[in-house]
Structure 1
Amino acid sequence: MKAVIYARVSSISDRQNTERQIEDLKAYACANCYKVEKVFSEKISGAKKNAEREVLLACLDYAKQNGIDIILVSELSRFGRAIWEVLETVKYCADNSINVFFQKEGLQILDEKGEVLPTMAIYISCLGFAAEMERKNIAFRLNSGRELAKQKGIKMGRKEGSIKSKEQKAEEYKQVIKELKRGTSIRKTAKLCDVSVSTVQRVKAEFNL
């Protein structure tokens, strides 16, 4: 069976990457005799709507156009933050006879005959709702904590001296700067230097390259 992997992290900084997700899903594919045709990986905020997730859209289109049997995803939240977006994406896959496997939840949307599992929409809705409520609760607690800290006169934000100077950034991203000066595209530079596209864009703007 033909499979593709879709991996995403929310942070656009260099502190997170999709390597663990991809390796875990490759191991699952190998154990289940799936041939991974392509890997789709992106760094984009979970707050972004699915319509803004170019890599996710490319993954869905590739799966449809190339007769992919299953999309492997690390967890349900990778398919969207809002319940309705997750369900919309799942429905697209089901309508095109593309199975989806969510590793964390251990769920697939189609049965062995390629038919939609009748309870799947309800199950996904419940899981998605619980995750969404938890995110809202975390946001509420964080905001509440910030307000209390401000009332106590605690200074918020980065510590003094934690912001890097332009010289420090020039040293840290010297390879990125070198590639951009050569005329290398932003995406290719990101790949060659193993940094995010947003990092390359930020360096390009800051150093007027």
Structure 2
Amino acid sequence: MAVAVAKKNVAFIPAQTIYDRNVRVELKTLRVAAYCRVSTTLEQQEGSYEAQISYYTEKIKSNPNWKSAGIYADDGKSATNTKKRDDFNAMIDDCMAGKIDMVITKSVSRFARNTVDSLQTIRKLKEKNIAIFFEKEGVNTLESTGELLITILSSQAQEESRNLSENTKWGLTRRYENGIVTINHKKFMGYTKDEKGELIIVPEQAEIVKRIFRMYLEGSSIGEITKALEADKIKTVTGKETWHPGVIEKMLVNACVIISITQ
């Protein structure tokens, strides 16, 4: 009597690329992408957009252990953040999709001029075990030198943030001293701006503001004021037919603050 043998189902699990820090970058079998960027006339004179693409194409092709994952290049972008760099963003998307193992680029400044953007991108790719190799600095972000770079960039990011905050406060202070006050008049009931940027009263809106204050002083609650305005089809400063109690409350609170300051 023949004995039935159960058929085994074998699932094939493909090997994943594992980053080995004991193997030099040049000897790894990796899908490598390059990022190039020029943004000023000087940069274009010293090393043109086309020259960078040609350089990295040959560099990746010349290494038998590297497989080209694409050359990403942005030309003429001078923005200090990464939002307007189409190829840069496409490259990061491909990294997150598992299409790239390592990115090579000329330098940290060429990769991202904004320290915060650079730091966030490095950490984002590091979590996916994707290396960024900066040629000028000789730094691989997945090696010990990368940890040092991240520490330095973190310090720079904090300093940049502090300087930006101080510069912003300084600028606002100087504007206030010169009598220049920035107000979002589009969401400011009762006022608009003239061609000189000066606040001027809008009579129709001023009557609405007066009505709100008068009703409140006569004993109406915020909810009652809201319902009365909606019943009379009076629109908000942004053109909406529904009044939120919080808006009325802010108007009343702001008025109290102004009165206390001027007294």
Relative to 1, partners in 2 of residues 1:117 and 1:46: Cα closer, same or farther, differing over 3 Å?
A: same
The Cα offsets for residues 122-149 of structure 1, whole Å up to 9 and x where unpaired, read as 24457x78xx9xxxxxxxxxxxxxxxxx
Structure-2 change in CA distance of 1:125 and 1:21 (3 Å): farther
RMSD: 3.1
Contact 1:12 1:43 (8 Å CA) reproduced? no
User: Does residue 102 of the first structure (1) align with residue 131 of the second (2)?
Assistant: no
Residues 50 and 33 of structure 1, relative CA distance in 2, 3 Å threshold: same
Alpha-carbon separation, structure 2, partners of 1:87 and 1:32 = 31
AA at the equivalent of 2:151: I
Partner of 2:35: 6
Deviation, 1:4, is 0.8
Distance 1:19-1:98 versus aligned 2 partners, 3 A rule: same
d(CA) in 1 for partners of 2:111 and 2:40? 16
Shift of 1:59: 0.6
RCO comparison, higher one (Cα < 8 Å, 6+): 1
Name the CA distance, whole Å, in 2 between partners of 1:77 and 1:58.
Answer: 19
Aligned positions of 1:122-161 closer than 5 A = 122-124=151-153
Q: Larger C-alpha radius of gyration, 1 or 2?
A: 2
Instruction: Using structure 1 for the length normalisation, give the TM-score.
Output: 0.51
% identical aligned pairs: 24
**Cα distance in 2, alignment partners of residues 118 and 49 from structure 1:** 22
**Which among 75, 83, 88 is matched to residue 43 of structure 1?**
75
- Offset of 1:21 from its aligned partner? 2.2
1:24 counterpart = 2:90: no
Aligned mates of 1:117, 1:80 — CA distance in 2: 16
Q: Is the 8 A contact 1:40 1:55 kept in 2?
A: yes
For residues 156-171 of structure 1, the aligned pairs below 5 Å read none
Give ranges in structure 1 of 5+ residues lacking alignment. 133-209
TM-score normalised to the size of structure 2? 0.41
Could you tell me which residue of structure 2 aligns to residue 135 of structure 1? Answer: none
